[in-house]
């Protein structure tokens, strides 16, 4: 078990600015992905998301605005 703890041991004091930026960005994206998965798959949001599922394929909306 000591080998596993040595494997994941981190020297926080020797981390550079780039290491900290990378760590913060990685943790931030991870948390945003968790929020997105929970929001998307929550049953209360199903009707709201289902009503907007054809928006990317709706080209007619832009065609009618150009003709005006």
pLDDT, tens digit (0-9, with 9 covering 90-100), for 28-56: 999 999 999 999 999 999 999 999 888 88
CA dihedral angle for residue 36, residue 40, residue 45, residue 48, rounded to 10 degrees: 100
CB 39 within 8 A of CB 45: yes
- Answer yes or no: pTM beyond 0.75: no
45/37 Cα distance (integer angstroms): 11
CA gap 5, 16 in Å, rounded: 22
- Taking every pair of Cα atoms in the chain, the longest distance, rounded to a whole number of angstroms, is 72
Indicate the pLDDT class of residue 3, thresholds 50, 70 and 90. Answer: confident
């Amino acid at each position: 078990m000591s080998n596993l703890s040595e494997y994941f041991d981190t020297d926080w004091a020797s981390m550079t600015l780039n290491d900290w930026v990378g760590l913060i960005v990685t943790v931030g994206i991870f948390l945003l992905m968790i929020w997105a998965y929970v929001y998307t798959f929550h049953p209360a949001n199903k009707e709201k998301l289902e009503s907007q599922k054809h928006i990317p394929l709706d080209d007619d909306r832009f065609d009618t605005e150009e003709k005006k």
